[in-house]
């Protein structure tokens, strides 16, 4: 028997989905197992199908939901009041019409399983190890946490997948990112990935698929792994992946759309073959020591402008850096600690799962947020919302003075009217601190749910370890 060369997790998934391998003159034709669509990046794709008179070729491989521009106020979600933003209402209606006409399953606005597309995929058991998953959204990298090859695509490619279930792709390079040591108390997956982006830079992963590995990654629960893979795109990477293991299988077992019975056993057997072989070669390797990581916070206008929460804003000569600090209203050498905060947002596909809400509630329980501060808690899905309510987390947030909303992308990108005001400081558990991301002139400080909760309590940038009772 021929002994095959050792392969990485990525190579195994890639090769299994090559309909036609790449050549010098043409990219590979890559098969897509699961296509997720939403209201913002799909209308023009359906329009293209209509123009060409094409059907959706494999409608059962596409699932639609609504999350980006949808309201988070209960009455607007459940029909008690019209959607306040007419253009958003129009997108919702158009997705309903497109799904009905083309035979695509839709989880509509009032559906009990609706939510942020990258929260519901794993939650429903649709995102599975070894599969290829695409969506017209860059944070599709989230699904790599289950050992899938998952990446964001543009609207033209959404049309390609709808019409052919395939994409034309050049094979990306691989980057092994190994995390050793141990995360300290009060330091979580969000701090880890912010630290990684600070190390390799916002363009550091361009052209690569990152495989996160090593003892710290193996020790993370599934939701933490999703937080890590989610922000792969913030390092410019095409995708992030983590080898499936017992944690993955335990998470997926029994989920409504995961395989069952004999099919589960067969799937499990195939999934166990997926982890990178010993000796598999990566194009690049990066090592990170978890023990060096503290609670992290961003101070600038991209996620690579990040530092330990107790640090000082660095000095750098270039004009763009100075302009970014000017936008943020910060100066080089200034500490961020104790800086006033106007808004705290707990939500987004990065940090709006049950464990994130528990983490925030841990600090908020029995306390009140600072006077004058606005805190918005937006669960990642309607299922997360119900699970949180069943353990009383909604009461914790409400009694602390926070707003408890229906699920959606909300203030992460402010398409639905959940906005941060001009000049205001927002400590946000989302993924992007770009200029204007949370509203024109809004100043975003990215942090973990634990740090965000600490900041909400004091109204200032606060090291959560001070409130946990441990030494900072």
Kindly list the residues in this chain that would bind another protein in the complex (CB under 8 A): 19-20, 24-27, 29, 31, 40-41, 43-44, 47-48, 52, 54, 57, 68-69, 85, 87-88, 90-91, 94, 136-138, 140, 152-157, 159-160, 163-166, 168, 170, 172, 202-203, 206-207, 233, 236, 238, 302, 304, 319-320, 323, 413-415, 422, 432, 434-437, 440-441
DSSP label at 56?
P
Report the residue number, 85 or 468, with the smaller CB distance to another protein. 85
Residue (119 or 360) nearer to another protein, CB? 119
Structure-block tokens of residue 59: 């409608």
Q: Which is nearer to another protein, 133 or 413 (CB)?
A: 413
Give strand ranges (E) for 275-411: 284-289, 296-298, 306-308, 343-346, 374-377, 403-404
How many angstroms separate the Cα of 220 from the Cα of each of 161, 183, 211, 341?
33, 10, 14, 30
Q: Which of 183, 280, 191 is nearest to 228 (CA)?
A: 191
Q: Which C-beta is closer to another protein: that of 262 or that of 319? A: 319
We find the least distance from the C-beta atom of residue 466 to another protein, in angstroms, to be: 32
User: What CA–CA distance (Å, rounded) separates 313 from 328?
Assistant: 11
Q: Which is nearer to another protein, 41 or 72 (CB)?
A: 41
- Specify the residue, 352 or 357, whose C-beta has the smaller distance to another protein: 352
Rounded to a whole number of angstroms, the minimum distance from the CB of residue 44 to another protein is 5
Q: Measured from the CB atom, is 136 or 308 closer to another protein?
A: 136
**Residue in 312, 14, 300 with CA at minimum distance from that of residue 149:** 14
Residues 6+ apart with CB under 8 A from 141: 150, 151, 152, 229, 230, 231, 232, 233, 237, 238, 239, 240
Name the strand (E) or helix (H) holding 405. none
CA distance 339 to 328: 12
Q: What is the DSSP letter of 421?
A: P
Q: Which residues contact 459 (CB under 8 A, 6 or more apart)?
A: 340, 341, 369, 370, 371, 372, 373
Q: Residue 217 in contact with residue 210, Cβ under 8 Å?
A: no
Helical axes 382-390 vs 354-364, angle rounded to 10°: 40
Tell me how far, at minimum, the Cβ of 163 lies from another protein, in Å. 6
Q: Tokens for 297?
A: 């916070």
**Smallest gap, in angstroms, from Cβ of residue 445 to another protein?**
16
* Smallest distance, another protein to C-beta of residue 57, A: 7
Which lies closer to another protein via its Cβ, residue 29 or residue 184?
A: 29
The minimum distance between CB 448 and another protein, in angstroms, equals 21
Q: Which is nearer to another protein, 204 or 464 (CB)?
A: 204
What is the Cα–Cα distance from 137 to 355, expressed in whole angstroms? 23
Per-residue CA distances from 121 to 118, 142, 221, 281, 383 (Å): 6, 10, 17, 30, 12
Torsion of CA 131, 137, 139, 145, to 10 degrees: -10
Query: What is each CA distance from 265 to 112, 249, 268, 277, 313, in whole angstroms?
Result: 29, 11, 5, 22, 52
Least distance to another protein, CB of residue 233, Å:
8
Tell me the closest approach of the beta carbon of residue 386 to another protein, in angstroms. Answer: 28
Are the C-beta atoms of residues 425 and 445 closer than 8 Å to each other?
A: yes
Straight-line distance from the first to the last Cα atom of the chain, in angstroms, rounded to the nearest whole number = 58
Residues 6+ apart with CB under 8 A from 95: 37, 38, 39, 42, 43, 64, 66, 106
Instruction: Please say which residue, 77 or 369, places its beta carbon nearer to another protein.
Output: 77
Q: Kindly tell me which of 3 and 25 has the beta carbon lying closer to another protein.
A: 25
């Amino acid at each position: 028997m021929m002994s095959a060369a050792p392969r990485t997790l990525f190579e195994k998934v890639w090769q299994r989905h090559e309909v036609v391998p790449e050549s010098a003159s043409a990219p590979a034709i890559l098969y897509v197992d699961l296509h997720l669509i939403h209201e913002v990046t799909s209308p023009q794709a359906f329009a293209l199908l209509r123009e060409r008179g094409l059907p959706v070729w494999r409608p059962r491989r596409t699932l639609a939901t609504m999350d980006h521009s949808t309201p988070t106020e209960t009455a607007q979600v459940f029909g008690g009041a019209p959607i306040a933003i007419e253009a958003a209402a129009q997108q919702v209606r158009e997705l309903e019409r497109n799904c009905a006409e083309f035979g695509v399953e839709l989880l509509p606005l009032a559906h009990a399983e609706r939510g942020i597309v990258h929260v519901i995929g794993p939650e429903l058991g649709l995102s599975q190890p070894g599969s290829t998953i695409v969506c017209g959204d860059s944070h599709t990298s989230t699904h790599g946490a289950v050992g899938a090859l998952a990446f964001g695509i543009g609207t033209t490619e959404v049309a390609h997948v709808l019409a052919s279930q395939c994409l034309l792709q050049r094979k990306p390079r691989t980057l092994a990112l190994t995390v050793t040591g141990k995360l300290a108390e009060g330091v979580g997956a969000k701090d880890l990935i912010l630290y990684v982006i600070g190390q390799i830079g916002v363009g550091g992963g361009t052209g690569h698929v990152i495989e996160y590995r090593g003892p710290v990654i193996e020790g993370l629960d599934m939701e933490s792994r999703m937080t890590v893979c989610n922000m792969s795109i913030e390092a410019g990477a095409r995708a992030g992946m983590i080898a499936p293991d017992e944690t993955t299988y335990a998470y997926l077992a029994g989920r409504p759309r995961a395989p069952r019975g004999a099919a589960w056993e067969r799937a499990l057997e195939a999934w166990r073959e997926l982890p990178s072989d010993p000796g598999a070669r990566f194009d690049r390797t990066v090592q990170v020591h978890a023990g060096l990581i503290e609670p992290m916070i961003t101070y600038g206008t991209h996620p690579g402008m990040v530092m330990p929460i107790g640090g000082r804003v660095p000095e750098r000569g270039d004009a763009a850096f100075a302009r970014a600090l000017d936008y943020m209203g910060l100066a080089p050498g200034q500490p961020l600690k104790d800086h006033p905060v106007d808004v705290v947002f707990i939500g987004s596909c990065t940090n709006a799962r049950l464990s994130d809400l528990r983490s925030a509630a841990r600090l908020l329980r029995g306390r009140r947020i600072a006077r004058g501060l606005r805190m918005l808690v937006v669960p990642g899905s309607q299922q997360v919302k119900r699970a949180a309510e069943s353990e009383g987390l909604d009461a914790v947030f409400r009694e602390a003075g926070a707003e408890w909303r229906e699920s959606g992308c909300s203030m992460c990108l402010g398409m639905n009217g959940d906005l941060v005001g001009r000049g205001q400081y927002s400590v946000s558990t989302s993924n992007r601190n770009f200029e204007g991301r949370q509203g024109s002139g809004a100043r975003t400080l990215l942090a973990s749910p634990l740090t965000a909760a600490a900041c909400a309590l004091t109204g200032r940038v606060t090291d959560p370890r001070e409130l946990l009772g441990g030494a900072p």
